[in-house]
Structure 1
Amino acid sequence: IPVEGRRFEVRYAMGAGPTPPSPLAIIRNHQQAASTIGGTTQYEDQRYTTLKVAKDAKEVWVQVDTAWGRGYVLTIVEKQAMVQEVVASAELFQSGLKATGHVEVPGIYFDTGKSELKAESDAALAEIAKLLKADPALKVYVVGHTDNVASLDLNTKLSQARADAVVQALVAKQGIAAARLAGRGVGPLAPVASNDAEEGRAKNRRVELVKQ
């Protein structure tokens, strides 16, 4: 399975003494360890197993090679995260609102389960402000969305808190009148991708502008 990213190799050598564990035992031990943290087995034969662990937007692949004398080799690859190609801009927001009445805001960041805006969000907030200052009559809903991890009630409250945080930042830091903004949180109720995999869940965790 070809995977690109940062690669490590760890070799475990077993000295003379008790009979070493069988290749199957080594494979099963690593599969169980991966499973306890949400990992899955991608491949297995008598010599190898390949494991994948996806957590907190990171993806780690591990190959266990048991055919190395009295020992085994772990090859670990941290898959490189995709670079976000869409950049927040007032022009992007204006075009989206005109075409569909709503538009996603790339570049808004929160820690997992938190509603405090991260400093990296400042550039996107400035572009929202630029949009609103260019059209003084425009009013928008700021809508928070989540994935479906955790309960509906918790995610709805989290998405509302995140939407409110964006509104508060636009008012306090960018000088936008509060009357032109309204925060709404819809939790996981409007996904744009399947929540069955982390890639889809990441797309569903977003903030949108909706024209009032």
Structure 2
Amino acid sequence: MLKGRNYSRKLQFEEIERQTLAPLPVLRYQFKKHFYARVIKNGHVNLGPDKHYYSVPYRFIGKRVKLLYSRTIVEIYSNYERIALHPREKNPYGYTTDKEHMASAHRFKSDWTPDMFLNWAASIHEDVRLYILQILERKQHPEQAYKSCLGVLGFAKKAGNDRLIMACQRGLSYGLYSYKTIQTILENKMDNYEESIFADELPMPDHGNIREKTITNNHLKQQ
């Protein structure tokens, strides 16, 4: 019994306090951090600590948003409105995409379209167009490939059309289609190698399916 009262603490709890209690959360509390970034033209935003991209609705392209992330989830906010929710992924330069966020799902035309990149590539050379087409076709949503396409075509200005054409031809022969492939070919001047002379010693671009730094002629294709 409570001192000076004719009821106990337990009785007070049962009759008054218990009914005000809410159920315990189903999930354990997770500490959250925040990160600010701008939505790029392919409709994704980069979570800097993981270097991973997450989609947001296309109408937020160009806007600065807040990413609130925990160990397992990533929430994206614009002006205190949650505009996207994704499971957290930590593979660098990968994409997590909700198809409903993509401009193509809503038949929305932006400055960046597959045709724009293909026409730009075709103005340089047919092999450059074929390389860009391979990049676009390997993504579930074309918007995911826009940044890679822009990077590859940007080498025309940095390295010149002729070197870019040779690099794309070599990339096509390897069966490796990415910005990183073309960057590696150009940085290592592999576009100038004579295939017949150097094929057995040719350093390959980094790729998850290739284990050795140098490979023989038999492996000059994606495994």
TM-score normalised by structure 1 residue count: 0.22
Structure (1/2) with the larger helix percentage: 2
**Which has the higher relative contact order, 1 or 2, with Cα contacts under 8 A spaced 6 or more apart?**
1
TM-score normalised by structure 2 residue count: 0.21
Q: Highest Rg: 1 or 2?
A: 2
